[in-house]
Amino acid sequence: MPQGTLFIVSAPSGAGKTTLVRELIESLDGIQVSVSHTTRSQRLGEVDGVNYHFIGVAAFEAMIERGEFFEYAQVFDNYYGSSRPAVETMLNAGQDVILEIDWQGARQVRQQLHDAVSIFILPPSRDELERRLASRGTDEHATIARRMRDAVSEMSHYDEYDYLVVNDDFTTALRELQSLVISRRLSLERVQKEHGPLLTALLS
């Protein structure tokens, strides 16, 4: 069985990453999102172990010391990290895995896994990004302004990624993400491992 592919997906807050990734894994078989650990507070409607593994700062830092994270980063004053054993288990089982992480975490992963595929999702404009952030109706103006500054900082690292997807039309952006996953599955190395007997038979 060929090993799965690790896909890194990053985006500024408000670009639509979470919805796109959710639709992607619902539309394709054999691909999962790695559930990250975080020290931020659990929000209404979130389920521990589904949205995130919610833990305290001390517990998170102890996991860092034990080397239990594939990557970790500090974003918006909170820690986020991906479990190394969980990711490796899925990849070794032939599952494609998505890491929804920021540019700091993405940089850490790329240093360790050079064949990881990195994708950055962009909004169609700054005005649209600010509109999406404001439309949530849960943040004060000062918070939205801070998130906009953070978004610009995040977007400044777009050129570190392999692929860019502009989320202007949702259907188009989803189709582009699907195409990236499918094209990776059709790579020579992966098809050779998955269909070795067929290739041998065809050439015998």
What are the domain boundaries of the chain? 6-196
Highest average pLDDT, of 69-73, 91-95, 135-139, comes from 91-95
Under the banding of pLDDT at 50, 70 and 90, the label for residue 6 is: very high
pLDDT at 138 over 80: no
pLDDT at 87 over 70: yes
| 72-82: burial string, b at 16+ Cβ within 10 Å, e else | bbebeeebbbb
Could you tell me if 123 and 167 are in contact, meaning their C-beta atoms sit under 8 angstroms apart? yes
Per-residue DSSP letters for 116-148?
-EEEEEE-S-HHHHHHHHHHT--S-HHHHHHHH
Range from 46-55, 76-85, 138-147 carrying the lowest mean pLDDT: 138-147
> Model-level pTM?
0.87
pLDDT at 136 over 70: no
Considering only CA atoms, which of 94, 72, 79, 101 is closest in space to residue 12?
A: 101
Give pLDDT, residue 31.
97
Q: Which residue has the higher pLDDT, 139 or 134?
A: 134
Q: Structure tokens of 167? A: 């989320």
Q: What's the average model confidence in pLDDT over 24-46? A: 95
Average pLDDT value for the chain: 92
Give pLDDT, residue 139.
59
Give me the architecture of the 6-196 domain, per CATH.
3-Layer(aba) Sandwich (3.40)
Give pLDDT, residue 179.
98
Q: Structure tokens of 56? A: 């305290």
Q: What's the average model confidence in pLDDT over 171-195? A: 95
Q: What's the average model confidence in pLDDT over 93-119? A: 92
Range from 51-55, 82-86, 137-141 carrying the lowest mean pLDDT: 137-141
Residue 198 exposed, middle or buried by CB count within 10 Å (0-12, 13-18, 19+): exposed
Residue for token pair 């592919």: 5
* 26-29 contacts at long range (C-beta below 8 A, 24 or more positions apart): 27/174, 27/178, 28/178, 28/181, 28/182
Give pLDDT, residue 180.
97
